[in-house]
A and B are shown apart, each in its own frame.
Chain A
């Protein structure tokens, strides 16, 4: 039985239990930092849970289990309210705000009689037995582990690495923040409730900045982006402080030094270090996968689906105006793009091409103008990338935005995020589940040999292919490609356009922004030419490219130079 297991530590029994309870806190820290949320409200949330459990236990005379539940829920509620209050605050401001929150809780405690103010309260039944503690830790770990392996876990990694890209995959970043704050709050509340029923008392000085630093050290040492990180880190610190009595006295000092060293030399913590060494040992195993993929490329026909009948405008923009401060980037741009049509947008530097794509995908909100997507007005969707993604808009970016540390398959899976399970199943046909859908997409884009390879190891052309595969994974109705062939050689460019042709056959409307005018003229069905934020020409390529205005916009006035 676990109770006896912990008794083996003898004199360290209490310290071990305490460390286990605090590992819940470490997991709460991981929950937020892993998502790239620079927030540290954990001690405040723990205090909320602890005092709630105390009051329920001592004043309301609830049994231990219910008091514990009450503390957990109180922590969760506090996390929820805090996240809602702080809104979209980010970076250092968010860190400061959450520190201030914890201090505010401590300060508030001093003014609420039920908390026992500065003296705290004693006499809490010491009902937190070892089974409960161990079960809580295991349950929390299992929950976080399952979360990390689910599509929510992928979404969280995407959020952390590239928040803008994540929103374009239908990931509702703000919603996730609220959810994660609530989860962290629950874990802290649970830790608080367990702690007071372990020690039998509660006092405000416990929930200090020092405690936060201590726990943060543990998470950083273990590796803050790994589920096992908080446990490993807390375990290491427990061992260091208790079994090496010489260090025990200088524990905080040692922790501080270790933190500085870890951030400097092993930013992914001990687990990250271990993985790196393991990877180096594996060597060129991935190289062989790449070679196999290359070999498989030769002479393989592209899978084509039947071209669907019918056409109709997918995107219709009227008089779109976009302003930044005093500059008008788009001055009344109108265009349409129909099903199965490849619309090219060209124009000199600063003409507003990328701004146009950004407005369509939701990065910017137009100052005025209307638009419809498949007949549905865009009025409620401007400026909301995740909503537009779910409405059927998908895109690639000027600089490829993939998560280098994830595999090709995982990156493509992120693209499926906006679809719920039923949509995935309906789309996958016979085979159920996202995994099958991802496999099918990889096959269609001839990436199945690279499914397990980390994107960071691929060549530029391959990465662009993965990004496009991700973009079409959700079966969008409108695909936006922002300079997809930049930096490629002619053969790679031809391949990209061949892939686009296949998408057009699937009735997707595609808008592509590019600089290579000749290439655009060769592949596009229609061209739109922008200059200084206005459309100066639109129509079939051979018509458009012959117009003087277009040539002049690109090559500029000759001034006093003689033309041959």
Chain B
């Protein structure tokens, strides 16, 4: 705990676009390498996310999606590479610092704080993030409840008693109340019944109104993420097998990346690569 804060000083939410040119990515990752013990779990991962954009991070289990997100939010150390959030280096910061700076991670399996009530989960998230002033707390709570009426019904119930879908909504609400500028969503549909998954994705589809100016990385195993994503990055065995616009990630491309990649074969090249998104063919 140092006396002086990191340059990512906290303050009131700036008006949209202030301090950053409109097309500058809010999150820029370059050459990220992460180890899991002795394993090279993620190798040379790069992506950039702009405000208001959703980038889907697809891949089968074990591809490295969760490891990547955990490295971005500070839970895992990166062996190499650069992560720039709002133009500034994030390397080595503690997870709670990163969260207070506005990069929020909704973890795999939701991880609601079970013994706390729904409202307490939200209150904690709002105040701990230090991005929601106390006087606005009530209004913010109502805002989240309006977004997720099912959760509002259970606001004084212990959050551990909620269903999987309700917990997922609570977890997302928890992140939203902290006014994120970047949101990392780790497999929100995992373990949920299809109808709940649909509800979550209906919510994400309304992002122009609920996720204004938030840059989102949405990690999923299934292609359902493509229904709301602008761009997509497919991970296989820790490397980027495909990167491009969501429409370009056709069925064949995905199936090939998931099921058909033979050891030693090149992955598909993106149709229109942008500067920060060169596909790296596995060797």
Chains A and B bind each other: yes
Q: With A and B bound together, what is the CA distance between A489 and B38 in angstroms?
A: 13
Residue of A460, A557, A561, A563 touching B38 (CB-CB under 8 A): A460
User: A85 in the interface, Cβ–Cβ < 8 Å?
Assistant: no
* In the complex with contacts A486-B39, A487-B36, A556-B224 CB distance below 8 A: yes
* Contacting pair A551 B62 (CB below 8 A): no
User: A554 in the interface, Cβ–Cβ < 8 Å?
Assistant: yes
* In the complex with contacts A400-B38, A487-B36, A487-B39, A519-B222 CB distance below 8 A: no
* Contacting pair A556 B221 (CB below 8 A): yes
Residue of B63, B250, B264 touching A563 (CB-CB under 8 A): B250
List, in ascending order, chain B residues with CB within 8 A of A10's CB: none
A-B contact count (CB 8 A): 90
* Contacting pair A556 B38 (CB below 8 A): no
List, in ascending order, chain B residues with CB within 8 A of A460's CB: 38-40
Residue of A459, A487, A493, A556 touching B263 (CB-CB under 8 A): A493
List, in ascending order, chain B residues with CB within 8 A of A555's CB: 222-223, 251, 254-255, 258-259
* Contacting pair A564 B258 (CB below 8 A): no
User: A349 in the interface, Cβ–Cβ < 8 Å?
Assistant: yes
User: A323 in the interface, Cβ–Cβ < 8 Å?
Assistant: no
Encode contact with A along B193-232: 1 for CB under 8 Å, 0 otherwise. Answer: 0000000010000000000000000001111101100000
- Shortest CB-to-CB span from A416 to chain B, Å, is 25
* Contacting pair B254 A557 (CB below 8 A): no
Encode contact with B along A530-564: 1 for CB under 8 Å, 0 otherwise. Answer: 00000000000000010000010011111111111
Chain A interface residue bracket vs B: 20 to 34
User: Interface size on B (CB < 8 Å)?
Assistant: 38
List, in ascending order, chain A residues with CB within 8 A of B251's CB: 555, 558, 563-564
* Contacting pair A561 B36 (CB below 8 A): no
Q: With A and B bound together, what is the CA distance between A516 and B226 in angstroms?
A: 22
Residue of B191, B247, B263 touching A562 (CB-CB under 8 A): B247
Q: With A and B bound together, what is the CA distance between A515 and B61 in angstroms?
A: 7
- Shortest CB-to-CB span from A323 to chain B, Å, is 15
Q: With A and B bound together, what is the CA distance between A564 and B221 in angstroms?
A: 20
Interface hits, B31-89 → A, CB 8 Å: 36-41, 60-63
* Contacting pair B38 A459 (CB below 8 A): yes
Q: With A and B bound together, what is the CA distance between A489 and B238 in angstroms?
A: 11
User: A483 in the interface, Cβ–Cβ < 8 Å?
Assistant: yes
* Contacting pair A556 B222 (CB below 8 A): yes
List, in ascending order, chain A residues with CB within 8 A of B39's CB: 460, 486-487
Binding site for B on A (CB under 8 A): 348-350, 399-400, 459-460, 463, 483, 486-487, 489-490, 493-494, 515-519, 545, 551, 554-564
20 A-B pairs with C-beta separation under 8 A? A460-B40, A463-B38, A490-B264, A515-B62, A516-B261, A516-B263, A518-B263, A519-B263, A551-B259, A554-B221, A554-B259, A555-B254, A555-B258, A556-B222, A556-B223, A559-B226, A561-B226, A563-B250, A563-B251, A564-B252
